[in-house]
Amino acid sequence: LEETVPLEAISVEGISLISAVGDYDGMVHHDVTKYYRRHEPNIKTTHGLDVAGLDTNCQVRAGDEKIYYTLTGESGWIETEEFRGPQGEVAVSANCKSVLLTTAGVTYHTENFGTNWTRVSNLTALRAVADRVADNKFYAYENDGSFKVSVDGGLTFAEVSTLPSGGSEVVRAAPGIEGDVWVALKAGGLARTTDSGTSFELLAVADARTVGFGKAAEGRSYFAIYIWGKPTASSTMGVYRSIDEANSWERVNDDKHQYGGPNDGNFLIGDMNEFGTWFLATGGRGIAYGRLSSNMNTAPTPPSTPSSPDYTMGTVAMGGAGYVAGIVTRTEEPHLTYIRTDVGGMYKWDGSKWNPLMDWVSYEDQGLLGVETLALDPKDPSRLYAVAARDDRSNGKTAFLRSTDYGETFEVIDVSHVWKAHGNGMGRVTGEKLVVDPGSSNVLYCGTRLDGLLKSTDYGSTWSKITSLNVTALAEDDPLPGYAWDGITDLFWRNGVSLVHPDPNSVDKGVAQRIFVGVSNFNGPSFFVSNDAGETWTEAAGGPAGFAPVRVAMRGTNELIVTFASAPGPWDVWGGGRAYRFTIDSGLWTQIISHEHGFGGVDVHPKNPDVIIMSSLAVYAQQGEPKQGEGEYVYRSEDGGNTWVNLMDNYTRSAYGDVEWIKHGTTADYSIHWGGCLKFDPSDYKKVWITSGNGIWRSTDIGASAVNWEFTVAGLEETVPLEAISVEGISLISAVGDYDGMVHHDITKYYRRHEPNIKTTHGLDVAGLDTNCQVRAGDEKIYYTLTGESGWIETEEFRGPQGEVAVSANCKSVLLTTAGVTYHTENFGTNWTRVSNLTALRAVADRVADNKFYAYENDGSFKVSVDGGLTFAEVSTLPSGGSEVVRAAPGIEGDVWVALKAGGLARTTDSGTSFELLAVADARTVGFGKAAEGRSYFAIYIWGKPTASSTMGVYRSIDEANSWERVNDDKHQYGGPNDGNFLIGDMNEFGTWFLATGGRGIAYGRLPPKCTSWADEKWYGFATTPDKSWHVE
């Protein structure tokens, strides 16, 4: 990643590149492929840079507040006594006697390095250039075409020639040759003088935006000349090189490497040490270079054979399919956009895809994948913060996550003793609860569900409650009366503080004095303000009764736009909503829109405060005519909120990155819904991000009459996998929450969902001897097929939700376990019979014997059915409290493995009559994959620990559990196996494994493609071809 804005660059013998750049000073490069330190002392943006022509140890650089010079080369910098102004361009005479500084259109002269400055007469040029030999001589080109020369060390200038007007300010004096000067004249071409400007030759060049010198070609006595321009009118604009003093030109870049052309610094120079290498000033892509392959002096060598192949890890391509609850951006950073999800961690956008930031989460801390709130530091873009927890995972552990490297790594601070969060609770759409004070990076505020408003003054290391804002009591008002689910705690239902918003315009004494806080209180005060940095609080009275704030956006310096809803969302917002304008100085609330639905996301255009965008919350309305989808409204106002247009009345949609499944439906599953947060894209304000229950969408042009929304989920995988199967010929058949699942022949490609859709698919099985026979069970329907991926038929009778299924080997019978009861059918659900003597959560079919099923009970009893699943009998006793995961080996009757958690791993080869307890310390789940080459038995995979001292993770055995190798790492833990609790191998590709996460999709590990050993190959050298490329065979 190279994003500097180069402003000047110089190459001299012995040093490839000395640079000046915006914000970050610049560097001295002896090797352009290596990193170096910035110029020190730092002066940040460095506009001016020059090196004396006859003494390269004499250097000057000018910033916006200081000027430094050195007489000793790369070090020993001394600040000038007097500073003459910002954005200064500098020129140093050949022997370092005098320095010229041009700032704000005025040029100053010094002969004592800034102790005294004298204004130069008769010069308005943007910059002057020193002759590289004559110590008293400087040159300048004025915009009116006059070419001026100074022969008194730069004190005075006189016009000596006239050139075409309107050219570039770039004048280059040739090193080592007095009076040899080149001028880039844009469309006026290229001019050269060899007599210090007395006369000029206008060279045969159609356009020259900038010009520079580089080392001469072999056999040539004069420098290589580089221009950004066009030798002829029909040429393509680009980098051109001449080795014969501009008599002929060769293009030395291509259309794939244009870099936006020369920009702010407007330089193109060659390397004085290496023929053919050039350096170009881009507008934000660093200093681009071109280099001949013949300059690459290291020959290719055979790679060494690694001691053990490295795994590639990622997630199976499905495409979103989970709820994105919030977005945070920085308008100053084009691609600095983060999203949080309710069960799948957080992601960062890189301009083309979403990159996961929390795959490091361990099995023990899997609840941290529920991210409740995010915050960016307004002063330091590298600082990212989050609060993460799920009340139903990891014993409710709540953590404050702190990153100082854009989310690459995090420090995890356990704050469970201070407050509890729930990233998957009601109100997760509101926010943000966590903010950084715009005046001081060390000060943070965090709203909580049950514990009011908290404050930290040490970057989140410690927290204290702001007792002056007593909103804890407000949480006692039940925001959702009548709801009561078993196992669902107050932490799920109560949202507490919904948002915190410090006013950046109120910073005084280092912190924001004015802070706004919203509370999910639907029966009383819900919006509060402090004008003394949180010491005291008052209600901002006058807002809508019966509603509570969802989100807020600042409009200008004196207005807030606040959305309200009758419930915290993201669903069941039946009581309508409002949006209000709050005028800060008067405290006046003004309603700007209302509807029977709630309002969620809101943002104000960063450059035009009259443009406001807003989304509904929890609407399932028809979108478009004819129907395009079913879900949220998105509104746009272009007059500050006085009038609104519903953009979903006339819109189109598409899939960025060709996510296949989203194209094949118009229900809410396939549309923008639960759209509680939207933001202008900082990389392009025509684009707007909006969150959705199925991922995230982005408009291509929010101002269009018919807005197109792209389903932009490349890299975002948030399904909750519930079951997966791999069979010969098909890498993966999956069942997932909400979005059915898919059939994957290639796990890197997107596919359609199972159709007909049944949404959450708890049960999935394939007959062991007939893979065309498949059954899948949802919360309202059960389907079966006898023809593989299609031809699904609904069963006549449905027995209950959350069903696990098992299909006998030859497809004769099916078992369905729902609500602790197992049912049997031999006619695909026309009739169901209750199975006797079984309370297990699931049964498993033998993959060969059609009448045989197995089950492990929580008390340790292992049961077998030999009548097709009608009745079960106990045949063995295993350690109790194990996993419900029982795996029957494909193609081998009676070969069954049972994961027993801390009880280890058990195997039977006689259908359960006897078991061997294998030498495994902990096995949470177990699965089979294709055998290793030269092995006759499957690869075995466990999530667990082979020994007590092992790290919990994915382990593979290729020798029937006699030895184990870990095949994931600490950066790729994904929270371990979760809801679906599966870990299986690919039956078609050795080494590939699939893991059920709790919201990060189906994780996989994969070995690199198989290669022939280098030891078996002979190596041959080849001569270079005319285009300087190498060919290896």
Give pLDDT tens digits for 306-338. Answer: 334 579 999 999 999 999 999 999 987 777 999
Q: Among 244-248, 488-492, 709-713, which stretch is predicted with the lowest mean pLDDT?
A: 488-492
Residues β-bridged to residue 241: 226, 250
Quick check: 81 and 70 in contact, CB under 8 A? Answer: no
Compute the distance between CA of residue 4 and CA of residue 27 in angstroms, rounded to an integer.
Answer: 11
Residue 151 CA: distances (Å) to CA of 93, 138, 157, 159: 11, 7, 8, 12
Residue bearing the bigger pLDDT, 1025 or 731: 731
Side-chain half-sphere exposure of 69, counting CA atoms within 13 A: 25
| HEC profile of 156-204 | ECEEEEECCCCCCCCEEECCCCCCCEEEECECCCEEEECCCCCCCEEEC
Q: Among 128-137, 465-474, 562-571, 613-622, which stretch is predicted with the lowest mean pLDDT?
A: 465-474
Residues β-bridged to residue 416: none
Average pLDDT over residues 222-241: 95
Q: Would you give the DSSP letter of residue 875?
A: E
The answer, yes or no, to whether residue 746 has pLDDT greater than 90, is yes
Q: Is 781 helix (H, G, I), strand (E, B) or coil?
A: coil
Question: Which tens digit of pLDDT belongs to each residue from 638-678?
Answer: 999 999 999 999 899 888 878 999 999 999 999 999 999 99
Instruction: Provide the pLDDT confidence category of residue 1010 given band limits of 50, 70 and 90.
Output: low
Residue 1013: what pLDDT?
Answer: 47
> Exposed/middle/buried for 393, CB within 10 Å: 0-12, 13-18, 19+?
buried
The answer, yes or no, to whether residue 1024 has pLDDT greater than 50, is no
Residue 489: what pLDDT?
Answer: 60
Q: Which residues does 695 contact at the CB level (< 8 Å), separation at least 6?
A: 319, 320, 321, 322, 324, 711, 712, 713, 716, 718
Instruction: Provide the pLDDT confidence category of residue 755 given band limits of 50, 70 and 90.
Output: very high
Quick check: 717 and 339 in contact, CB under 8 A? Answer: no
Please state, rounded to an integer, the average pLDDT across all residues of the chain. 92
The answer, yes or no, to whether residue 1027 has pLDDT greater than 90, is no
Catalytic residue among 135, 738, 779, 969: 738
Question: Which tens digit of pLDDT belongs to each residue from 903-933?
Answer: 999 999 999 999 999 999 999 999 999 999 9
* Catalytic residue flag (residue 681): no
Catalytic residue among 25, 180, 342, 846: 342
* Catalytic residue flag (residue 50): no
| HEC profile of 421-475 | CCCCCCCCCCCCCEEECCCCCCCEEEECCCCCEEEECCCCCCCEECCCCCCCHHH
| Structure token pair of residue 65 | 């507040």
Question: Which tens digit of pLDDT belongs to each residue from 941-988?
Answer: 999 999 999 999 999 999 999 999 999 999 999 999 999 999 999 999
Neighbours of 362 (CB within 10 A): 17
Question: Which tens digit of pLDDT belongs to each residue from 794-817?
Answer: 999 999 999 999 999 999 999 999
Residue 85: what pLDDT?
Answer: 86
Residue 309: what pLDDT?
Answer: 55
Question: Which tens digit of pLDDT belongs to each residue from 623-632?
Answer: 988 888 899 9
Residue 889: what pLDDT?
Answer: 98
Q: How many helices (H) and strands (E) does the chain have?
A: 1, 86
Residues β-bridged to residue 203: 190
Instruction: Provide the pLDDT confidence category of residue 237 given band limits of 50, 70 and 90.
Output: very high
Provide, rounded to the nearest whole percent, the portion of the chain with pLDDT above 70.
94
Instruction: Indicate the helix (H) or strand (E) that contains 908.
Output: strand 905-908
Amino acid identity of residue 75, one-letter, is: S
Side-chain half-sphere exposure of 911, counting CA atoms within 13 A: 16
Specify whether the backbone of 837 is left (phi greater than 0), alpha (psi in -120 to 50) or beta. Answer: left
Average pLDDT over residues 99-112: 93
CA 886 to chain centre: 38
Residue 572: what pLDDT?
Answer: 87
Amino acid identity of residue 547, one-letter, is: F
Question: Which tens digit of pLDDT belongs to each residue from 484-539?
Answer: 444 456 788 889 999 999 999 999 999 999 999 999 999 899 999 999 999 999 99
Residue 1030: what pLDDT?
Answer: 53
- pTM of full prediction above 0.85: no
Compute the distance between CA of residue 207 and CA of residue 3 in angstroms, rounded to an integer.
Answer: 27
Compute the distance between CA of residue 372 and CA of residue 911 in angstroms, rounded to an integer.
Answer: 47
User: Closest Cα to residue 168, out of 143, 147, 201, 192?
Assistant: 143
| Structure token pair of residue 16 | 């490839």
Residue 518: what pLDDT?
Answer: 97
Compute the distance between CA of residue 926 and CA of residue 939 in angstroms, rounded to an integer.
Answer: 11
Average pLDDT over residues 370-378: 97
Residue 206 CA: distances (Å) to CA of 20, 105, 188, 203, 222: 29, 29, 7, 9, 22
CA 590 to chain centre: 37
The answer, yes or no, to whether residue 46 has pLDDT greater than 80, is yes
